[in-house]
Amino acid sequence: MRVACLGGGPAGLYFAISMKLRDPAHEVAVFERNRPDDTFGWGVVFSDQTVENLMANDPVSGKIVQDEFAHWDDIDVHIHGQTIRSSGHGFIGIGRKRLLTILQERARELGVELHFEHEASPDLDDWRDYDLVIAADGANSRIRTRYEEHFGVDIQTRRNKFFWFGTHQVFDAFTFAFEKTKAGWVWAHAYRFDDDFSTFIVEMEPETWEGLGLDRMDQPEAIVFCEELFAKYLGGHSLMSNAAHLKGPDAWLNFRRIICDNWSYRNLILLGDAAHTAHFSIGSGTKLALEDAIKLAEVLNRPGLLREQALEEYQAERNLEVLKLQNSARNSTEWFETLGRYLHFEPIQFAYSLLTRSQRVSHENLRLRDKAWLEGVERWFQSRAVGAPVDDPAPPMFAPYRLREMELTNRVVVSPMAMYSAQDGTPNDFHLVHYGTRAQGGAGLVYTEMTCISPTGRITPGCPGMYTPQHRDAWKRIVDFVHAHGDAKFCLQLGHSGPKGSTKVGWEGYDVPLASGNWPVMAASDIPWSSGNQSPIPMTRADMTIVRNQFVAAVEMAREAGFDMIELHAAHGYLLSSFITPLTNKRTDEYGGSLENRLRFPLEVFRAMRAAWPNEKPMSVRISANDWMGDLGITPDDAVEIARAFWEEGVDLVDVSAGQTWADCKPVYGRMFQTPFADQIRNEARVSTMAVGNIYETDHVNSILAAGRADLVALARPHLIDPMWTLRAAAGHDYRGIRVPPPYLGGQAQLTRNLQREQEAALTA
Ligand SMILES: Cc1cc2nc3c(=O)[nH]c(=O)nc-3n(C[C@H](O)[C@H](O)[C@H](O)COP(=O)(O)OP(=O)(O)OC[C@H]3O[C@@H](n4cnc5c(N)ncnc54)[C@H](O)[C@@H]3O)c2cc1C
Ligand SMILES: Cc1cc2nc3c(=O)[nH]c(=O)nc-3n(C[C@H](O)[C@H](O)[C@H](O)COP(=O)(O)O)c2cc1C
């Protein structure tokens, strides 16, 4: 096969090597516009895993790379005059120039033709003598741009400015240094890559860059500015630029995130940065380029595979890995872009948040890396929770939390879940057993399902209510049981179904109207939930007063029933949510239009409920923090304003859910997928939040809490199937501070022993 590689960066060279290794008969030529030792950039970092992959593919170059790598384990975070050092992170670094020299020599040795100072034509016709043309010409690939429409290219230019410097200061740890200036924060990512060189990337928000006048400075001036700002880390060494060809402020770059739907067109194949990029803060661009190269060479040489099939396999196999990395890279990029959220954290929590920013590293990963450090974090978290120093570390999920006078023994919450099992709104023995069991399962707080304030405010005929004395008494029986048999506190979620009412019970079809006996529904405007649902009647002011008073009456009954807490359900497209989202609120009066107007009725309801609820008892509000409809609906930025508005009315906790407000919305699901909204609201509005949504492992819960992304964590589906979820988590951590119902102590002890044995076996395996 005759192959032309356009671009002699890591991707092009390593692909050429990998082809020749598999079949020396291939004729492979690399065309690079620069001279062999001209290169931008300083050092690159890899993980140990990448080096293993290189060794497996080509032990000869792999060994040289392995021998020359600078290896280090520690990460230092310098913030607010403190240095937080953690260990066990296992990085390796090498100079980009050195890496390319090793690859060039190896390619030559294997018979690859290397053409330097050769500007490759972006026209495929000029490569008609080759069977395959590899676009390995980097993020700004000319040939990809030339055939853009065939690749489905999506390029996002990120907002922060960065400059990739080198320095002779040798850092003994991967270093993140944050410095405050008159125009905002500026930070450096620095790491050693050989005996006397380090990479030193300086990054900041564009507003800071302009505020400091860096947008008007030439390179030497900008370098002096950075050297002075980071003098205490540079030990007298200077910063060096190798972007001399870029004029003035142009040396400051913005990262460009590239995704392509298709990685090949005719005989042209995209490789490395030309196909996809990963932000420098997760140090994976070169890894992607090298691993792409290995996979492409492998599929092209797999016996019996036609070229089209090989290319399909190349993309299918690499795409998953690339998506995972780009996902982590996006989290990491966003963390640095929204740094302002985390600057009020104490240094130890700031460092934890930084280390877990990509969501690839979790609480338990950190324990494996540096147990002593993680236990320090756990002690710190517990001591802040109890307001006094503590000696013993314990996972953050087992830290107490206080809302007004209500003391929770831990941070795990049973999320509200409709059971559709009431008759005429009255909870029964099913509810007693259901809530009673979950209240004994160890969670600090148990929510009821949405409990409705009127018969027509129910979602389904099976929904419970709080609108008759009979309901109150039936709930009181359950509340009394919960209080008599454990430490859990009990929160009543109150809501009105609005446009999503008069439907079948969940397992007969979600949001499907009743076969008969439907009742009229109301909402902010006459927009039906879907074409199959009723058109709601827009509420009049008189309707609003009735509904508000029904909420207050329900609160009074909740007080008589002895609930510890109340939540107002203002999410998921139900009545109050239909006012908040612009997708379903088309009113032209003072209850429609601006967010302030759309919040007017929900806030009026909340205010009236708060006035009727004892001052010492807390209240939460559940909101949909994202309609998943872009700017047409509620965005997470709007959610920050919504949370602030409820906070000013005295809400104690914002329960941050998302979606279910528009039938055709496009949620982006995934592990902990709504937690970023709880994080944004908590740390921008500075209010207490509860995270929920696809959180199912103790590791998730501990990571969220320790990183300050939420104050409480709710789990719904995991509690459907395992009411004892928190007791099981306590057993897994050998945590003895949790109350176990006395009759169940033997089971808890056995589970603790068995899980410990499992963990020991896994460690020795
Ligand atoms: C600030 C910063 C820090 C980074 N840090 C890391 C890190 O720590 N670890 C890591 O793994 N990655 C890092 N990267 C990313 C890494 O540099 C790239 O992901 C990696 O180099 C991609 O390899 P590539 O071969 O696809 O592209 P490139 O390395 O960009 O190589 C493309 C080559 O093609 C040549 N070329 C372009 N056009 C033509 C043409 N028309 N004709 C001939 N030749 C052409 C270029 O001169 C270049 O040599 C970082 C990137 C930046 C910007
Ligand atoms: C069966 C079921 C019923 C639910 N009912 C309610 C409800 O009554 N009120 C509410 O606010 N959310 C309700 N939810 C949403 C959950 O509280 C939670 O936000 C969602 O399931 C995501 O959490 P999870 O991934 O832990 O399940 C319900 C979820 C399920 C699975």
pLDDT digits (tens, 9 = 90+) for 158-198: 999 999 999 999 999 999 999 999 999 999 999 998 888 99
Question: Catalytic residue positions?
Answer: 574
Checking if the pLDDT of 246 tops 90, the result is no
Spell out the alpha helix ranges (H) of 500-656.
Answer: 541-561, 575-580, 595-612, 636-648
Q: Give which of 593, 674, 588, 590 is closest to 639, Cα–Cα.
A: 674
Mutation choice for ligand 1 from 47, 241, 273, 328, CB with most ligand atoms inside 8 A: 273
Q: Which atom of ligand 2 is nearest to the CA of 714?
A: 26
- What's the rounded mean pLDDT across residues 128-138? 96
The residue whose CA has the least distance to atom 13 of ligand 2 is 417
Confidence bin at 243 (pLDDT 50/70/90): confident
CA distance 252 to 367: 37
Ligand 2 pocket, residue 723 CB under 6 Å: no
The predicted pLDDT at position 424 comes to 97
- Ligand 1 center to 36 CA (angstroms): 14
| Residue of 627, 579, 571 lying closest to 602 (CA atoms) | 579
Q: What is the pLDDT of residue 242?
A: 81
Confirm if 580 and 603 have CB atoms less than 8 A apart: no
The CB of 414 under 6 Å from ligand 2? The reply is no
CA nearest ligand 2 atom 16, residue: 716
Measure the CA–CA gap between 597 and 633, rounded to whole angstroms. Answer: 15
Give the pLDDT score at 305: 86
pLDDT at 45 over 80: yes
Distance 536 CA to ligand 2 centre (A): 24
C-alpha distance from residue 257 to each of 20, 268, 335, 354 (Å): 31, 21, 15, 21
Average pLDDT over residues 450-456: 98
Nearest ligand, measured from the Cα of 251: 1
Average pLDDT of the segment spanning 580-601: 98
Task: Reply yes or no on whether the pLDDT at 40 is more than 80.
Answer: no
Whether ligand 2 lies within 6 angstroms of the CB of 577 is answered as no
Q: Predicted confidence band at 763 (pLDDT cuts at 50, 70, 90)?
A: confident
Q: Determine the Cα–Cα distance for residues 51 and 271; give it in Å rounded to an integer.
A: 19
Residue 444 has pLDDT above 90, yes or no: yes
Q: What is the pLDDT of residue 312?
A: 92
Instruction: Output the ligand 1 site: residues, CB below 6 A.
Output: 6-12, 31-34, 41, 44-45, 119-120, 136-138, 142, 164, 201, 272-274, 280, 283-287, 289
CB 465 within 8 A of CB 550: no
d(CA 229, CA 323): 36
pLDDT at 66 over 90: no
> Is the model's pTM score more than 0.85?
yes
450 lines ligand 2 (CB under 6 A): yes
Q: Give the model's confidence band at 668: pLDDT under 50 very low, under 70 low, under 90 confident, else very high.
A: confident
417 CA → ligand 2 middle, Å: 5
Helix/strand/coil for 380 = helix
CA distance 692 to 548: 27
Q: Minimum-distance ligand to the CA of 144?
A: 1
Q: Supply the residue whose CA is at minimum distance from atom 31 of ligand 1.
A: 9
Residue 482 alpha carbon to ligand 2 centre in Å = 21
| C-alpha 202 – ligand 1 centre gap (Å) | 18
Q: Percentage of the chain with pLDDT > 70?
A: 100
Q: Is residue 354 within 8 Å of 308, Cβ to Cβ?
A: no
Classify burial at 115, counting beta carbons within 10 Å of its beta carbon; exposed 0-12, middle 13-18, buried 19 or more: middle
pLDDT category at 42 given cuts 50, 70, 90 is confident
**39: confidence class by pLDDT, cuts 50, 70, 90:** low
pLDDT of residue 550: 98
Strands, E assignment, 112-173: 113-115, 132-135, 153-157, 161-167
How many whole angstroms from 317 Cα to the centroid of ligand 2? Answer: 35
Residue 719 CA: nearest ligand 2 atom is: 26
Over residues 216-225, the pLDDT tens digits come to 999 999 999 9
Calculate mean pLDDT across residues 732-739: 96
